Amino acid sequence: MQDDPIIQTAMTTVDGLAPRLSEWCAQIFDFAEPAWREYRSAAWYVARLREEGFEVEEGSGGMPTAFCAEWRNGDGPMVGMYAEYDAVPANNQAARPEQAPRDGISPLAAGHTDPHSALGMGSLGGLLATKAAMQAHGIKGGLRFTGEPAEKVRGSKPIHAAHGYYDGLDAMLSFHPFYMLPLCNTVRWDTQCGAAYSMIFRFRCDAPETWGARDGAPIPQSHSDIRAPGANDALMLMYQNARSLRDAMLPHRGGWSVSEAILATGQATADNLPALQADIQYMIRVPDLDMAEQITAQLTRVAEQAAALTGCTVERHWVCKSRPGLTNHVMADVVWEALQAVGPPVWDEDALEIARQVQRASGGAGDPDPLIPDCTALIPPQEAEAILRRDLPPAQMNSTSDDYTDMTWHCPTARFYIARPALRGGPYPPWAMNALGGIPATIDPTVVTAAKVLARAALRVLTDETTRATAWEEFNNRTGGGVGGTDHIPPLCDYPAPTGFAWPEYVETPRGRDWHLPG
């Protein structure tokens, strides 16, 4: 069936943009900047969007590496899309079919895993194609494009939500490269991602002299005098006891996790002095807010006890409070129709040979058909939903974790997944998937497919008043009357952007650009 002229314009635009989308995606992949420190990546998007005629607010929501861009073609509906661009420490991988860090950068530096480089570029391609069709055919309305840093700690979206950056949208389109079966080349249906809380417990040992106070010490902080255990000991007590608590944590229900990360701080180097500060971050991924609150309360008790035992005080600082997701079937149908029209990604023989090279470099033989069948097939949302529910209790409404969920409470939202190259066989080392997410020949089909699906879906929303009305009717029904309704969950963020902590980053030194764990 021949596309109408509006859709033809958008699809032709994506095809024309494809070489540049490939180049741009490779650039963000190479930047590989971690959470809250995506300076180059955010600046790249801001400059690009301004060149494309968007008005851009930098540092949106008080986050230095966030932004909000808008473009209008007169009065009319507004559709939202977004970019993510944070990478993950200790995943440094070059865009090559063998294990290799990017040149001159520590293997422990950050690298793209999901990859967010492709997520952002697929979304940007869809945005620009939609804009081109709106201009060419006089479609009234506007586009909003947010830059979302620190997704791996679910950082920016709860903050953007609380500051109103998703308000006033008629619909939001959320794309992610596939990362788990059966959610590959499909749209989420009923079971959206769950809630997440993340926090940093900061232990401070500001008065070590009072912990074992006695008269007659020869000098203050004598090397032979008793001293407070200090912040490191507090952190270790927290770490060990929280892991024991995790094993006994109630309720035991599917799809939840508690993960920790120790943030580096400046301390005395192997001297008989107590560590003055130590930070440990926790990420709680759970189906609902009640579980998040329950686990947070238990972790807070453990932290207070650890501090009391070691001569420390403890502070709790929020990194995120993120809501579970809200379904919208109307929007899911819009995106599913677009995905069916576009079809799954197609990898040519050059891309398949690269995939075989990765298999061989991982110890395999190189399969004639190296990608899993799911990469090149579509799965209807209801079928994916049925498979997803097999391992979940009937009463559990949400599962797994991703922070697009905060957007779903502000407007009708669809969440969809496009295949990225995934290899048959295995298991494979992490570098293999990361490399395939950065090599242009293997990741470009994901980017182009996502851009086309996004443009089709956005143009449907912009031009079809009935679709917008029915999507909002469903939204209002599910929230008990819309934003502020009886079943609506308002933004949970009541904290500033947590950008001042010891998040790892790149620095410029006399040795050149290097990887650093800041104090």
Domain ranges of the chain: 5-193+324-479, 196-321
Among the residue ranges 54-68, 208-222, 427-441, 466-480, the one predicted with the least confidence is 208-222
The percent of residues above 70 in pLDDT, for the chain, comes to 94
**Average pLDDT of the residues in 194-219:** 79
d(CA 202, CA 277): 7
**pLDDT at position 513 over 60:** yes
What are the tens digits of pLDDT across the range 452-465?
Answer: 999 999 999 999 99
Overall CATH class of domain 5-193+324-479: alpha beta
Residue found under tokens 């677009």: 338
What are the tens digits of pLDDT across the range 270-312?
Answer: 667 788 899 999 999 999 999 899 999 999 999 999 999 999 9
**pLDDT at position 397 over 60:** yes
pLDDT in the model for residue 135? 98
Residue 88, phi-psi category: left (phi > 0), alpha (psi -120 to 50), beta (remainder): beta
The CA-based dihedral angle spanning residues 338, 342, 345, 347, taken in that order and rounded to the nearest 10 degrees: -170
User: Is the CB of residue 231 less than 8 Å from the CB of residue 277?
Assistant: yes
**pLDDT at position 518 over 60:** no
d(CA 268, CA 230): 12
- Helix, strand, or coil (residue 269): coil
* Closest listed residue to residue 454, CA positions, set 84, 129, 16, 2: 129
Among the residue ranges 269-273, 276-280, 378-382, 507-511, the one predicted with the least confidence is 269-273
- Helix, strand, or coil (residue 352): helix
- The rounded mean pLDDT for the chain is 92
| Cβ contacts of 69 within 8 Å, gap of 6 or more | 45, 46, 49, 54, 55, 56, 57, 144, 145, 146, 147
pLDDT in the model for residue 37? 96
pLDDT in the model for residue 489? 96
**For the packed helices 329-342 and 465-479, what is the interaxial angle rounded to 10 degrees?**
140
Among the residue ranges 99-103, 124-128, 135-139, 391-395, the one predicted with the least confidence is 391-395
**pLDDT at position 343 over 90:** yes
What are the tens digits of pLDDT across the range 158-204?
Answer: 999 999 999 999 999 999 999 999 999 999 999 999 999 999 999 99
Pairing assessment for the beta strands 171-177 and 78-84 based on DSSP bridges? parallel
pLDDT in the model for residue 197? 96
Token digits for 93?
Answer: 């991988």
**Entry pTM:** 0.94
- Could you please state the CATH topology (level 3) that the domain comprising 196-321 is classified under: Alpha-Beta Plaits (3.30.70)
* Closest listed residue to residue 507, CA positions, set 497, 498, 517: 517
The percent of residues above 90 in pLDDT, for the chain, comes to 80
